[in-house]
Structure 1
Amino acid sequence: MTTTAPSPATGAARTGPVLSVRDLTVSFAGPDDTVHAVDGVSYDLAPGEVLAVVGESGCGKSVTSMAVMGLLPPTARIGGSITLDGQELVGADERTWRPLRGRRLSMIFQEPMTSLNPVLTVGRQIAEVLIRHQKLSKKEARARAVELLDLVGIPAPDRRVDEYPHQLSGGMRQRVMIAIAVACDPAVLIADEPTTALDVTVQAGILDVLKNLRDRLGTAIVLITHDLGVVAETADRVLVMYAGRPVEQAPVDELFAAPSHPYTRGLLGAVLRPGSRTKDGRARLNEIPGLVPDLRSRPDACTFAPRCAFAEDDCRGGRPQLRTLAGGHRIACHHPVTPQPEEEVSA
């Protein structure tokens, strides 16, 4: 875990995590069955730290973050604990949530074109957050909106502030979403696929904006992404999820150097690298065989076992629990690829 950064609100160093998630479960009850979307996720997030959450589509990354934001529908059943600055949020009513969202806890949603209001200028949408949480006048909020657009790297912010989302490029719309999310200097920022569908140059700019905000404001960031290159460049720690469950968590350098879970190894092996081509010149990707399991079941077994080349009988007969190894590396696997039994410090 990284060293805690000063809180911009107080100027003093924080102690302990700003966000703690413990044994989080999320299920959705239907007329005939129940979908277990998240099952036993836990992590701590320190001020100024970037935690990347990775995994295949449907593994529970976005549902976990929506639970942290209190944005799941009434049909969701949430268990476990989510604390922000020591305040428990699981079971909190909307009156408790309203002053936290946008002020202490913010989110950059996956698709800016559908997240921004098409009939309001971007300046008005930024100003709405400032008027709501900081009680600024309309004139003050507009001036601050211009400053925020400049902060996130939008050129000519005094002109762009009066433009509508359709007048901006995809990269600029994503920067507007970031400006809205950081308008009130939140303690925690959740970025859900912030670089999806953007070209490489724009991706680099967005990541620079996020890192700059972390360094300047001490904001802790949860980064949800499929892009392991983004993870390697940006994150301090990585949480790997599969079928709603956490399977590995480690500092980013350690995870890339010595991935222990077969699923993590498979994800890293599926990245296209220079020289990974067949004799006829076509790009070659290694794939993980099999399919993601049905989330309507909650087996007392390793959910990755049907796709794992290392699976044995105990994998199918008992759910592996997260074990903590030396250096903060945590893994839920009966037969890790790179076992470290002599370094294990707790079970």
Structure 2
Amino acid sequence: MTTPVLSVRDLSVSFRGDARTVHAVDSVSYDLAAGEVLAVVGESGCGKSVTSMAVMGLLPPTARVEGSVRLAGRELAGADERTLGKIRGKDIAMIFQEPMTSLNPVLTVGRQITEVLRRHQGLRRREAVERAVELLTLVGIPAPRSRIDEYPHQLSGGMRQRVMIAVAVACDPSVLIADEPTTALDVTVQAGILEVLQSLRERLGTAIVLITHDLGVVAELADRVLVMYAGRSVEEAPVHELFAAPRHPYTSGLLGAVLRPGGEGKRRLPEIPGLVPSLDTQPDACTFAPRCAYADDDCTAARPDFETLGGTRAGHGGVHAVACRHPLPLTPTSPEVMQ
């Protein structure tokens, strides 16, 4: 793997309340190379979005963040708001999950795009407007010159999502974090959004962290996959290798729950028994053990290390790494998941 543009090391996030402390993220690490797409998957509440908000420095004061986040060699963890304000939107940007609540309802979409351009690139108003039209064209919005004077509520969900992408890529950031960019969109709009992200990657060399529940989207767009469970990394692998031969029982369970073409009504959809554990504590053990058919005393005696399958401490890039005492054997799963 080439020198990473984004390097996250042992990132942990906890939230302290009056009665308890929630450990939302526990020692997550990954690298991201220029032009690469890393998909982060897992059940709701596993820490995917919190991890990315911590990378962006957008968590509330109640959050305690530990670890390292380096963007092109520059440390972001612990940086003050003034420093982060110069970086966010310029070098690293985020597409938020729900554009209707992320876009300002009282400002036109043109104003929201030009604000980023004028702040970070110092463009004059006329130059910023012309650039905004170019960006709306780039993300596939028809009649862009007239759209810049419209408000978010006047656009469809797919159009709002494209505006969010235009705002995020206005300054050609080296890293783009896309948090559920296709949620609640119909399949045709979803295909358009994915095409836009793929185009940005190819044209600008943008590295993308893709947070999603949709394994079909992962198969189509991602180069590597990071699987999270209960705030921890449990498996990381190149996308085709992960789909063909998952090694962690949790990953296998996720893939097994994917609907396959023509399979409806012929079998009961597999489910992972039990519930996601409370994040009040992070035990020195495998957190998936209570739900795992392969768990034994070794799994509950100590926390498994995140290691490559060769037995050494996991690096990053093309390796297949797993945090499991008993990785699944190399028995490839059905290729239908990839179709």
Question: Structure 2-normalised TM-score?
Answer: 0.93
Post-superposition offset of 1:336: 1.1
Paired residues, number: 324
Q: 1:309-329: CA deviations, max 9, x gaps?
A: 111111111110111136500
Query: C-alpha distance in 2, partners of 1:248/1:272?
Result: 22
Post-superposition offset of 1:286: 1.4
Aligned with residue 302 of structure 1, among 286, 290, 304: 286
Query: C-alpha distance in 1, partners of 2:261/2:62?
Result: 46
CA RMSD of aligned residues (A): 1.3
CA contact (8 A) 1:105 1:186 kept: yes
CA contact (8 A) 2:245 2:330 kept: no
Post-superposition offset of 1:295: 0.2
1:334 is matched with 325
Aligned with residue 22 of structure 1, among 6, 9, 33: 9
Post-superposition offset of 1:201: 0.5
Q: 1:69-99: CA deviations, max 9, x gaps?
A: 0000111111110000111111111121011
Residues 241-320 of structure 1 correspond to what in structure 2 (within 5 A)?
A: 241-278=228-265, 284-320=268-304
CA contact (8 A) 1:106 1:186 kept: yes
CA contact (8 A) 1:152 1:178 kept: yes
* Consecutive unaligned residues in structure 1, runs of 5 or more: 2-14, 341-347
1:344 is matched with none
Query: C-alpha distance in 2, partners of 1:95/1:277?
Result: 53
Q: 1:179-215: CA deviations, max 9, x gaps?
A: 0000000010000000000000000000000010000
2:334 is matched with none
Residues 66-105 of structure 1 correspond to what in structure 2 (within 5 A)?
A: 66-105=53-92
> The residue matched to 2:87 in structure 1 has which SS?
coil
1:8 is matched with none
1:191 is matched with 178
Deviates more, 1:29-38 or 1:232-241: 29-38
CA contact (8 A) 1:272 1:284 kept: no
Residues 46-61 of structure 1 correspond to what in structure 2 (within 5 A)?
A: 46-61=33-48
> The residue matched to 2:140 in structure 1 has which SS?
coil
Query: C-alpha distance in 2, partners of 1:189/1:338?
Result: 35
Paired residue type of 2:21: T
> The residue matched to 1:98 in structure 2 has which SS?
helix
In the alignment, is residue 235 of structure 1 matched against residue 226 of structure 2?
A: no
Q: 1:230-249: CA deviations, max 9, x gaps?
A: 00000000000000000000
Residues 217-232 of structure 1 correspond to what in structure 2 (within 5 A)?
A: 217-232=204-219
> The residue matched to 1:328 in structure 2 has which SS?
coil
> The residue matched to 1:132 in structure 2 has which SS?
helix
Q: 1:153-199: CA deviations, max 9, x gaps?
A: 00110111111111111000000000000000001000000000000
Query: C-alpha distance in 1, partners of 2:292/2:319?
Result: 24
Paired residue type of 1:82: V
> The residue matched to 2:68 in structure 1 has which SS?
strand
In the alignment, is residue 62 of structure 1 matched against residue 49 of structure 2?
A: yes
Q: 1:1-35: CA deviations, max 9, x gaps?
A: 5xxxxxxxxxxxxx500000001000011122210
Paired residue type of 1:336: P
CA contact (8 A) 1:148 1:179 kept: yes
Paired residue type of 2:321: R
1:137 is matched with 124
* Consecutive unaligned residues in structure 2, runs of 5 or more: 311-317, 332-339
Post-superposition offset of 1:331: 0.2
CA contact (8 A) 2:178 2:209 kept: yes
Query: C-alpha distance in 2, partners of 1:324/1:96?
Result: 36
Question: Structure 1-normalised TM-score?
Answer: 0.91
Paired residue type of 1:102: G
Query: C-alpha distance in 2, partners of 1:275/1:318?
Result: 42
Runs (4 or more) in structure 1 with deviation over 3 Å come to: none
Aligned with residue 187 of structure 2, among 200, 204, 207: 200
Paired residue type of 1:239: L
CA contact (8 A) 2:5 2:71 kept: yes
Paired residue type of 2:281: S
Post-superposition offset of 1:339: 6.1
Query: C-alpha distance in 2, partners of 1:334/1:180?
Result: 44
Post-superposition offset of 1:297: 1.1
Q: 1:285-344: CA deviations, max 9, x gaps?
A: 21111000000011001000000011111111111011113650000000111269xxxx
Aligned with residue 164 of structure 1, among 131, 148, 151: 151
Query: C-alpha distance in 1, partners of 2:204/2:261?
Result: 37
Give the share of equivalent positions with the same residue, in percent.
77
CA contact (8 A) 1:276 1:284 kept: no
